């Protein structure tokens, strides 16, 4: 979180001639241009990459399956992050000021939390889907149906609306921290104080899907490897040119290992720093420098650029 406070004399302000204006700490032109280009590229990639996947799944009927409905919902949530959240976060990150009303800031925070965490739940549901498909392929079509996929989507959608709305619009997020919230909410800033209880709930909401994904993906790969070996042994007994087949099987194994590894590692790299930083802030009085918090935020946003690659695997 940013440590913006009422400005000192002669400091550059977010809002000139306003008593409780936040202090503006903009970057010099060179770094500012680099950051704008980097954040802008990340935003465009998140919007158009996920939009391309959404259109493809909806347009081609052969892609209408329970798994692809989950993927389409995931890409829709990621598209909303890129379209609705990241552009305004870019202004805050580069300018160190928010030029929008406090009501919009609250709405932006709700959207940020809602779309980000719904994406985490979609990723978790996709990992469950893939686990069933790999470990029990014969019964998979009867276990993970369109109805089950719809239930997963509904759960994520309900949580997406209920959780941030219930926390930020009721004021429950800063119960017991009113003085700190007042100090953080200088004019021209967009900081949200979250008390320790809600931050623990927030951390658990991140930790549980992460743990489920790690456990499931760590079990998927050994099963897939065993299946590949059985296919290799079966093919070796019936084909004369078994070396070529073994090579193809080995290549598929390496690809599967790479895909699963990249998925889990990218998820952890993207979200663990932000979650730990938020937890530390809640218990240590928001001591994290603003630039550290922004780096953690944009690392988490990077996950939404990686997600649209998932359906192409």
pLDDT digits (tens, 9 = 90+) for 149-170: 999 999 988 888 888 888 888 8
- The token duo for 202 is 């927030």
SS3 call for 281? helix
CB 153 within 8 A of CB 147: no
Judged on CB neighbours under 10 Å (0-12, 13-18, 19+), 170 is exposed
- pLDDT tops 80 at residue 273: yes
What pLDDT score was predicted for residue 162? 86
Half-sphere exposure of 244 toward its Cβ, with a 13 Å CA cutoff?
Answer: 3
Domain spans of the chain, in order of start: 29-312
Choose between 172 and 34: higher pLDDT. 34
29-312 classified as CATH 1.20.1070.10: yes
pLDDT digits (tens, 9 = 90+) for 176-218: 666 666 666 777 777 777 778 888 888 888 888 888 888 888 8
pLDDT digits (tens, 9 = 90+) for 217-265: 888 777 777 766 766 666 555 554 455 555 555 455 455 555 656 766 7
CA distance 46 to 304: 6
What pLDDT score was predicted for residue 6? 46
- pLDDT tops 70 at residue 280: yes
DSSP letter at 301?
A: H
Other Cβ atoms within 10 Å of 4 Cβ, number: 25
The alpha carbons of the chain give a radius of gyration, in whole angstroms, of 23
- The token duo for 65 is 């399956």
- Rounded to the nearest integer, the mean pLDDT of the chain is 77
CB 83 within 8 A of CB 95: no
What pLDDT score was predicted for residue 8? 44
């Amino acid at each position: 979180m940013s440590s913006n406070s009422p400005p000192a004399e002669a400091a550059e302000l977010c809002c000139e001639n306003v008593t409780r204006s936040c202090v503006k700490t903009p970057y010099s032109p060179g770094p500012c241009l680099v950051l704008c280009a980097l954040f802008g590229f990340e935003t465009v990639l998140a919007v158009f990459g996920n939009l391309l996947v959404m259109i493809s799944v909806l347009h081609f009927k052969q892609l209408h399956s329970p798994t692809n409905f989950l993927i389409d919902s995931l890409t829709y949530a990621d598209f909303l992050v890129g379209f609705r959240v990241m552009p305004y976060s870019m202004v805050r990150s580069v300018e160190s000021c928010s030029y929008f009303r406090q009501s919009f800031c609250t709405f932006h925070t709700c959207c940020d939390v809602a779309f980000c965490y719904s994406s985490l739940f979609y990723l978790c549901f996709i990992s469950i889907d893939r686990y069933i498909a790999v470990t029990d392929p014969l019964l998979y079509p009867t276990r993970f149906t369109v109805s089950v996929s719809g239930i997963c989507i509904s759960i994520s959608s309900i949580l997406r609306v209920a959780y941030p709305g219930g926390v930020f619009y009721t004021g429950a997020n800063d119960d017991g921290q009113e003085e700190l919230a007042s100090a953080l909410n200088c004019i021209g800033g967009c900081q949200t104080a979250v008390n320790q209880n809600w931050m623990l709930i927030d951390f658990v909401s991140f930790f549980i899907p992460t743990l489920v994904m790690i456990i499931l993906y760590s079990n998927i790969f050994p099963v897939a490897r065993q299946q590949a070996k059985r296919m290799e042994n079966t093919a070796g007994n019936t084909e004369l040119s078994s070396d070529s087949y073994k090579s193809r099987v080995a290549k598929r194994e390496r690809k599967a290992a790479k895909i699963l590894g990249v998925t889990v590692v990218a998820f952890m790299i993207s979200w663990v720093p932000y979650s730990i930083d938020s937890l530390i802030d809640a218990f240590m009085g928001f001591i994290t420098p603003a630039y550290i918090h922004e780096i953690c935020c944009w690392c988490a946003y990077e996950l939404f650029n990686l997600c649209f690659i998932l359906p192409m695997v």
